[in-house]
Structure 1
Amino acid sequence: MCDEEFDYIVVGAGSAGCVLAGRLSEDPALQVLLLEAGPPDRSLWLHLPIGYGKTMWNPAYNWRFSTDPDPNLHGRRIYWPRGKTLGGSSAINGLIYIRGQRQDYDHWAALGNQGWGYDDVLPYFIRSEGNQRGANAWHGGAGPLRVSDIAARHELIEAFIAGAQQTGVPRTRDFNGATQEGAGYYQLTTHEGWRCSTATAYLTPAKRRPNLRMLTGALACQLVFEGRRAVGVSYRHGGRIKTARCRAELLLSAGAIQSPQLLQLSGIGPRALLERSGLPVVHELPGVGENLQDHLQIRLGYECTKPITTNDQLNGWFGRLGMGLAWLLRRAGPLAVGINQGGCFMRALKDANGQPAAARPDIQFHVATLSADMAGGKVHPYSGFTMSVCQLRPESRGHVRIRSPDAAEPPAIQPNYLATALDRATTVAGVQAARAIAETPALAPYVKREVQPGPQAASAAELLDFCRHHGATIFHPVGTCRMGNDPLAVVDARLRVHGIAGLRVIDGSAMPTLVSGNTNAPIVMMAEKAVDLIRQDARAL
């Protein structure tokens, strides 16, 4: 039984899904349904940049996944927050606008994904972007996703940038321009002191369109097929199971965890897994849920010699009052910025001659003027700051696999971090590079002590053990429905699921390899490009 029929059904109102629904509904002749399992994005904390700390653990807006015990991290389970509201993870992320490196996309194209080289995707980054600095050869000034500078310079961030320069890393004003390498301030997806999620950017202008139906609290349970064609989706809403049918295409944008989960629940995936779960095999695709990649974050914590950190402001009522007034009166201060202000992309791993082993940056820094035991945690009682490092292009691969036919049961997630020698060596080199910056004449005067890992971790082996004990996700899972044309690929270069008509996967799960940086901007780009692919294919019918 079909409850309603639409031209396009978008499953998941996250970073990609909001783009798809907003763009496709621009055509008044199309009927579009957008399904989101979470609630509407009404909480102030979803729109205030520093709200990241409040949504990190909130079950109303966060799926709060945990991985299986990772054998490479001393058997620890790693907490994986993912957005569960309009805007998805773009409503709860760290706001950083990074695209990655030219070579990332040229590599996608070299893998056989025609149309995904850097020159092919740059126009879609530009189309999506509304940069405060205006348009140029690299940036868009009029796009819906607002991108802003951090207005105020911070003494600690300036010291970090100067310290990076003293180790040979140039200062940069733009990580998304001609070259990524350098140290500087991040640009953020904010506008006039507010977060700009993809819901804000793409759904707000579309909400009054009569041809767009948005359903929140709607958990997709299974895709509906007629033979080898996807024709709809069954979902749980208001306590009952409903079915929506699509005349044109079903667009799966549930993210790197739940897109493969939903495919597997629907009988598309590895045969042995489906049969073990008691599910009929609609189409065997062994790559569904495989190829999981993520950036492993290693946090170095420092006590600062001066009371100039966000810890100091948050730990006193006068400081909190000042933060509130700065935002209320000027839309400025820590409330308008979020967590991380400074960054660095550098080549940390060295060869036998002490020269950079990679031709392009292999490590990214996130520098925060606060410190806590974990991302989004309660700040320490002392003046503190954090340098986080992550390896940009890990070789390690994990998987996502359903545990049962129940869509409400989280799947098994195994990231398999630090599984290769290169990953281990590069991660340790990143920690050593952070320490080297902390010891420079520019930054050393601000370091009272290294709290973590501390002086007890000196050798490479001890630092690796520290990474295994304390490493955590930096929230960039991708690759589980990867694009390609080999036996383990799930979608083709037009993001169509191999062997199934009327079905595309459009989100980070379709990335064949992880980009060198934060993933939100690339996922928005992918959705913008997908809209053109969908329109082209519709005209060709």
Structure 2
Amino acid sequence: MEASSITVSLQFLLLLFFTTIFFPSSFASQQQDKPPSYLKMVANASEFPLEDYYDYIIVGGGTAGCPLAATLSQSHRVLILERGGVIHGKLNLMNQEGFLNTLLSATANNANNEDSPAQSFVSEDGVLNARGRVLGGSSAINAGFYSRADCEFFTKSGLNWDLKLVNESYEWVEREIVFRPDLKTWQSAVRDGLLEAGVGPYNGFTLDHATGTKIGGSTFDSQGKRHSSADLLRYARHSNLRIAVYASVERLLLASSSSSFAPNSATGSSVIGVLYRDQNGRYHHAMLKDFGEVILSAGAIGSPQLLLLSGIGPRPYLSSWGIPVAHHLPYVGHFLYDNPRNGITILPSVPLEHSLIQVVGITNSGAYIEAASNVVPFLSPPQTAFIRSSASPLYLTVGTLISKISGPVSAGFLRLASTDVRFNPIVRFNYFSNGVDVEKCVNGTRKLGDVLRSRAMNDFKFRNWLGVRDFRFIGPALPNDQTDYAEMADFCKRTVSTIWHYHGGCVVGRVVNRHLKVIGIDSLRIVDGSVFSVSPGTNPQATLMMLGRYFGLKIIREREGKGTHEL
């Protein structure tokens, strides 16, 4: 029998648009802890000198930038330039229940509002998305799921990985900010449903990527408090690290080999510093000391955007904007990918607790299955002949199952919308333009159907007037005939959304080399997800934090000319 559906208000549909997968998991205490020690290193950009010199200037205090800075500061003077503020004191960020409000705020407010920790944007594909704008980056606004990369990632990423150092770097992160979640009703049922649906074996709790069903780590602790990459700044040497917040980097400062600023340039051009602007509109110069580097950690949107604004990119395109060409690098902003998400949301017959993503089904057919649950307000129409108006909202419990495809091959691109760095660039991901991605999505959504048909899901069904039990869907339901490939493919394209795991734009081999140095420019690296042509496993934040620690150690060893240096 066809599954039944319910009518919902326009307001509720808009709410679900933002909350389809990531929901608050518990009502944590609203009391704030004592300020973290790293705040002693933080100051508003307006308080910084108009010119100063550093060994390393890191543009972006995000998921990779914070562990990178903490590591480099052990031996060198480091500056982080973060365009947003700090997480501490913001209840919506510090606690699990604030995820929804953070995204709603980002959408409701102007996208260029520097006080918003998330900056929304809509791709040309018509899909709403967001990027972090706060110390800690997107690790401070996400759902907290933590899982290491799959082994295939390390062979396909184009980098010559030292796997021993990789594991040590993961462990360094995990000691500080990773916790084991406590499964309750919905997550336990999804785990059992995945196993019934053949997504095995059961791997229990593990931080490693393993085919089958597993419980992953969380960056929310047992009290529901968020931990982000900013917490890794605890490891920093405070005397060596300065963090400027509300610092908008306008462009890189370059010098030619004939200049006295870059006498030893091996390529002809070298970065000598950055120009940034504070909230008062004043410009500051952060300059490099001898043998120093600027390191972009501004993410898959920010890093290629800043290269283009600095005259590093395709010559004809830069010329069309009137931007002086410093270095012709044709693939800046190209090979941009986003892992598409599709799923269903149900109104269960029993109350559910809040839960973020805690369980994942790693299939062998190119898709990952995850789930979340939440209590959301049902905003009924203000006037109705059947329901008395009330100032107190009604609440509905919803459960969500989603499928994310692994390693999309459909590639997009990024281009400028303005020469003002504060404006989002124009992004197109070209979801499902390659049939391989469509096939993976069909496989994943069929697996969602298998989970829904499992015995573990029976308790969430309603009984209709004929005595038949079935689900009540909010929004689209899966097609009735899930063996019909064309119908399933249409569902994938019609209901596509994002899981916020976009990457690329400065990929290895085309924009950076295997040491993450920008090709053709001295003293400039990129250490963030823009260098990846494949997303690392089910969720990228673990690997991005590892990347920051890993390359911090590699840079120190490279500079000191030692292979055994340990911090």
Indicate whether the TM-score tops 0.5.
yes
Out of 80, 88, 106, the residue aligned to residue 155 of structure 2 is 106
**Paired position in structure 2 for 1:300:** 344
- Bigger drift between 46-55 and 96-105 goes to 46-55
Matched residue type, 1:217: Y
**Paired position in structure 1 for 2:272:** 231
Deviations 1:123-168 (A, max 9, x none): 32223221xxxxxxxxxxxxx3x211112x3233222222221222
Matched residue type, 2:460: Y
CA distance 1:17–1:226, shift in 2 (3 Å): same
Q: After TM superposition, where is structure 1 displaced by more than 4 Å over at least 4 residues in a row? A: none
1:163–1:440 contact (8 Å) kept in structure 2: yes
Matched length = 462
Q: 1: distance between equivalents of 2:216 and 2:416?
A: 37
Q: 2: distance between equivalents of 1:404 and 1:126?
A: 41
**Paired position in structure 1 for 2:372:** 368
2:118–2:141 contact (8 Å) kept in structure 1: no
Q: 1: distance between equivalents of 2:357 and 2:478?
A: 25
- Bigger drift between 426-435 and 460-469 goes to 460-469
1:175–1:182 contact (8 Å) kept in structure 2: no
Matched residue type, 2:560: R
- Bigger drift between 447-456 and 84-93 goes to 447-456
Matched residue type, 1:233: V
Q: 2: distance between equivalents of 1:199 and 1:163?
A: 36
**Paired position in structure 1 for 2:45:** none
**Paired position in structure 1 for 2:11:** none
Deviations 1:98-126 (A, max 9, x none): 12211111222xx4x3236x566333222
TM-score by length of 1: 0.81
**Paired position in structure 2 for 1:74:** none
Matched residue type, 1:369: S
**Paired position in structure 2 for 1:330:** none
**Paired position in structure 2 for 1:150:** 181
Superposition deviation, residue 538 in structure 1 = 1.5
Out of 173, 177, 180, the residue aligned to residue 204 of structure 2 is 173
1:371–1:386 contact (8 Å) kept in structure 2: no
2:120–2:129 contact (8 Å) kept in structure 1: yes
2:58–2:78 contact (8 Å) kept in structure 1: yes
Out of 404, 410, 424, the residue aligned to residue 396 of structure 1 is 410
Write out aligned runs for 1:98-497 (5 A).
Answer: 98-108=147-157, 111=158, 113-115=159-161, 121-130=166-175, 144=176, 146-151=177-182, 153-169=183-199, 170-177=201-208, 180-193=210-223, 194-200=225-231, 202-206=232-236, 209-227=238-256, 228-237=269-278, 238-247=280-289, 248-307=292-351, 309-310=352-353, 334=354, 339-348=356-365, 362-370=366-374, 381-448=395-462, 449-451=471-473, 452-454=475-477, 458=481, 459-484=484-509, 489-497=510-518
Matched residue type, 1:533: K
Q: 1: distance between equivalents of 2:221 and 2:93?
A: 14
**Paired position in structure 1 for 2:529:** 508
CA distance 1:460–1:218, shift in 2 (3 Å): same
Q: Which ranges of structure 2 fall in alignment gaps of 5 or more residues? A: 1-48, 107-114, 257-268, 378-392, 463-470, 563-567
Write out aligned runs for 1:58-69 (5 A).
Answer: 58-59=105-106, 60-69=115-124
Deviations 1:352-400 (A, max 9, x none): xxxxxxxxxx211221123779xxxxx9944321001110111111111
Does residue 44 in structure 1 map to residue 48 in structure 2?
A: no
Q: 1: distance between equivalents of 2:394 and 2:539?
A: 26
Out of 534, 537, 540, the residue aligned to residue 519 of structure 1 is 540
SS at match of 2:156: helix
Q: 2: distance between equivalents of 1:260 and 1:125?
A: 26
2:295–2:527 contact (8 Å) kept in structure 1: yes
**Paired position in structure 1 for 2:58:** 10
2:57–2:295 contact (8 Å) kept in structure 1: yes
CA distance 1:96–1:226, shift in 2 (3 Å): same
Q: 2: distance between equivalents of 1:456 and 1:205?
A: 51
Superposition deviation, residue 175 in structure 1 = 4.6
Q: 1: distance between equivalents of 2:440 and 2:131?
A: 26
Superposition deviation, residue 174 in structure 1 = 3.6
Q: 2: distance between equivalents of 1:221 and 1:81?
A: 21
Q: 1: distance between equivalents of 2:444 and 2:376?
A: 20
Deviations 1:2-41 (A, max 9, x none): 61111111100100111122111123xx221110111122
Q: 2: distance between equivalents of 1:166 and 1:196?
A: 33
Q: 2: distance between equivalents of 1:464 and 1:380?
A: 36
CA distance 1:371–1:344, shift in 2 (3 Å): farther
Matched residue type, 1:45: N
TM-score by length of 2: 0.77
Matched residue type, 1:491: V
CA RMSD of aligned residues (A): 2.3
Q: Which ranges of structure 1 fall in alignment gaps of 5 or more residues? A: 71-76, 131-143, 311-333, 349-361, 374-378
Superposition deviation, residue 523 in structure 1 = 0.6
Superposition deviation, residue 401 in structure 1 = 1.4
Matched residue type, 1:167: A
Q: 1: distance between equivalents of 2:241 and 2:165?
A: 29
Matched residue type, 1:66: F
Q: 2: distance between equivalents of 1:540 and 1:474?
A: 41
